[in-house]
Amino acid sequence: EAQVTQNPRYLITVTGKKLTVTCSQNMNHEYMSWYRQDPGLGLRQIYYSMNVEVTDKGDVPEGYKVSRKEKRNFPLILESPSPNQTSLYFCASSSTHRGLRFSNTEAFFGQGTRLTVV
Amino acid sequence: DAKTTQPNSMESNEEEPVHLPCNHSTISGTDYIHWYRQLPSQGPEYVIHGLTSNVNNRMASLAIAEDRKSSTLILHRATLRDAAVYYCILRPPFGNEKLTFGTGTRLTIIP
């Protein structure tokens, strides 16, 4: 079954304690991205990656890091979490269309990770 | 980023067709029109997308105006499982080609 898997689904942590949220897809997709969803603000892109070893900032990258060492995995790293990073996080992936564009293909989203930083 | 405008909420009776409108008057000629939905406590789910022509799939139909300044997502026979927030999104074929989510339309299905 085609899917994007995030772990953990729920996490409560303390300020400053480094954490990693994992994301893995089994569809051999080139494009992966992370979003956060906050009430009243909708989903906002944090980081994205168009292929292995290629990552770039989205709209709200401050306080986050990512890596893309393998095509299937795109972990989100919070080096020193703060309470304003309490949010619902989603990972997504897409393939290219005939090797050219991601915009002409569907994106698959994970089930989400609810993070609380106290 | 080109913006979309959707009604905040809509209601529909179960087993009736639903037409969800979206205005995107500043769309560029190459933006793809995507629709996603988010059911309670779940991640967004792809519904349909298109460029110029109307599109059909097993979930819905997408009707795109001739000038591309608006589109309508059509659910042919709503069920209770279709209750969700529906997002109309323009995805450009350049830059990071991201999906920019707005506030969407919250669809309520009345049994």
| Predicted pLDDT at A99 | 63
Share of chain B above pLDDT 90, in %: 79
Mutate to test the interface with A, among B33, B45, B47, B96 (most CBs of A within 10 A): B96
Q: Do A42 and B101 touch (CB under 8 A)?
A: yes
Q: Is A45 on the interface with B (CB under 8 A)?
A: yes
Q: What is the mean pLDDT of residues A63-68?
A: 98
Span A12-59, pLDDT tens digits: 999 999 999 999 999 999 999 999 999 988 899 999 999 999 999 999
Nearest CA among B10, B11, B18, B16 for reference residue B72: B18
Contact residues for B72 (Cβ-Cβ < 8 A; gap 6+)? B19, B20, B21, B22, B62, B63
Q: Do B98 and A111 touch (CB under 8 A)?
A: no
Option in A42, A103, A112 nearest B32 (CB):
A103
Which positions of chain B have pLDDT values less than 50?
A: none
Mutate to test the interface with A, among B99, B100, B105, B106 (most CBs of A within 10 A): B99
Please tell me whether residue B81 adopts helix, strand or coil conformation.
helix
| Predicted pLDDT at B102 | 86
B residues 59..88 contacting A (CB < 8 A): none
Rounded CA-CA distance A24/A73 in Å is: 5
Q: What is the DSSP string of A55-109?
A: EEE-S--TT-EE--SSSSB--EEESS--GGG-EEEEEEEE--BTTTBSTTS-EEE
Total residue length of chain A: 118
Q: What is the mean pLDDT of residues A79-88?
A: 98
Pair A80, A98: CB distance under 8 Å: no
Q: Taking CB atoms and an 8 Å cutoff, what residues of chain B touch A101? A: 93, 97
Q: Is B55 on the interface with A (CB under 8 A)?
A: no
| Predicted pLDDT at B1 | 63
* Closest residue in B to A40 (Cα–Cα): B103
| Predicted pLDDT at B2 | 66
Q: What is the mean pLDDT of residues A107-118?
A: 97
Please tell me whether residue B30 adopts helix, strand or coil conformation.
coil
Q: Taking CB atoms and an 8 Å cutoff, what residues of chain B touch A38? A: none
Chain B: closest CA distance from residue A54 (Å): 11
| Predicted pLDDT at B95 | 74
Q: Do B98 and A50 touch (CB under 8 A)?
A: no
| Predicted pLDDT at B97 | 80
| Predicted pLDDT at A115 | 98
Share of chain A above pLDDT 70, in %: 97
| Predicted pLDDT at B81 | 95
